[in-house]
Amino acid sequence: MIYKRKKLEEIEQMALAPYGLKSADSRGRVYLEAESASRPAFERDRDRIIHTTAFRRLEYKTQVFVYYEGDHYRTRLTHTLEVAQLGRSLARGLGCNEELTEAICLAHDLGHPPFGHAGEYALNRLMAEHGGFNHNTQSYRIVTKLEERYPNFPGLNLTYETREGMIKHETDYDKSDAEGYEPGKRASLEAQISNLADEIAYNAHDLDDGLRAGMFEMAALDKLTLWQELKDVVGWQSERPLPNITRHEIIRELIGQSVMNVLTQTSKNLEENQIDSVEKVQTHPENLVGYSPEFKTKVRQLKKFLLDSMYHHYRLIRMQTKAERFISELFQAYAQEPNMLPTDTKKKLDEAPLHRVITDYIAGMTDRYALDEWEKLYDPYRRA
């Protein structure tokens, strides 16, 4: 027996919780096209995202460490894959739509420029008088306008639910304008799961990468309640060197505790608030997916530690300062002389203002491509 789209949609109707979004109930796509015979709508969205140029470029875009710092640190791509894995686990545990959750997770960082948040800050500053720059909005722009893969429409023509989940993606650091997607309503449970999966992933892998890079003083880490609890579980004391295998155990335990806490607390929130429909999820005054109050306090303590001890570490500040210089000088060079833009990019000036075209071009660069372009423009001994 072949499980085609109709059969898979029937399984969704039976298997998912009443608050989980079903593919058959999608509001559809912007451009009319026949649906896949074999895949439900959200699964098709996921597959389209994976096959984009923007997704492949994530392999060489910075998460925290620029690629030349080492081969074992996270990149924007490995971060995205970790978020998708966590998103699926949370969605499955709560009876939500795994494919929709995965699609939102895989797309959430497509718009990140080179050099991580340093690149984003630089572009936002340079675009201050031209509409600004936000990686979340840029991700949406990629899937709706910039990817050129189909003859009859721009972008990927994703379903309303995937696009809504992307535009309503929010973190402590950014939140996008959800105009056109009922901004008065909360994101779907699948989108809320994606937000928490993103946070769990970067808390865990930034701690892991920071430990690997030797950025932390153990005495400072020992002040964290969560760190002390994780050490007790794996049976390691700070007086001894931290073996790689023990570091893996600690990070694995952190992820496991985070996921279990979110599942337990979210289930409690859904039950206490009698959430039994997608509509009730989106009209509830607060997000329903989250940590327990006690665990949230511990996570906030960890995040503050990472901010102070890692993101503000002199090595990262130096790297970020260089990155902002590269981005700024590329932008200024193209703005002063647009004829230096590649031919295909320059053609887009017929459709969008100069500064937005430049920003789209730079935001699409990988770290190494941006460095290569900078050398071509500013190194007198480098051929253009």
Tell me how far the alpha carbon of residue 109 is from its chain's centroid.
4
CATH 1.10.10.10 fits 5-316, yes or no: no
Dihedral, CA of residue 370, residue 318, residue 221 and residue 210, to nearest 10: 30
Query: Which residue from 298, 290, 239 is spatially nearest to 266, judged by alpha carbons?
Result: 290
Q: pLDDT tens digits for 144-189?
A: 999 999 999 999 999 999 999 999 987 655 566 788 899 999 999 9
Structure tokens given for 107: 């797309």
pLDDT value for 69: 57
* Cα pseudo-dihedral 362, 364, 366, 368, rounded to 10: -40
Separation CA 340–CA 322 (nearest Å):
22
Q: Are 190 and 21 in contact (CB under 8 A)?
A: yes
Give me the residues paired with residue 175 across strands.
Answer: 170
Over the chain (384 residues), what is each successive 10-residue block's mean pLDDT? Answer: 93 97 97 95 98 95 60 81 98 98 97 91 95 95 96 97 92 68 94 97 92 85 94 84 90 97 98 98 96 97 91 83 92 96 94 96 94 89 75
Backbone angles phi, psi at 296, to 5 degrees: -60, -40
Which residue intervals of 213-284 are DSSP H helices? Answer: 218-221, 225-234, 244-272, 278-283
CA atoms of 92 and 84, how far apart (whole Å): 12
**In contact, 190 and 91? CB cutoff 8 Å:** yes
Exposure string for 202-228, b = 16+ CB within 10 A, e = fewer: bbbbbbbbbbbbebbeeeebeebebbe
Structure-block tokens of residue 27? 């509001």
Q: Is the dihedral of CA 156, 170, 82, 137 positive or negative?
A: positive
Positive or negative, the CA dihedral 235, 239, 240, 242 is: positive
Owner of token pair 């029937």: 10
Q: Is the pTM of this model over 0.85?
A: yes
pLDDT at 212: 86
Predicted pLDDT of residue 1: 82
- Residue 160's SS3 state is helix
- In the chain, CATH 1.10.3210.10 sits at 5-316
**Residue 41 belongs to what H/E stretch?**
helix 41-50
Helix, strand, coil percentages (3-state) for the chain, rounded to 5, are 65, 0, 35
The rounded distance, in Å, linking the Cα atoms of 13 and 24 is 9
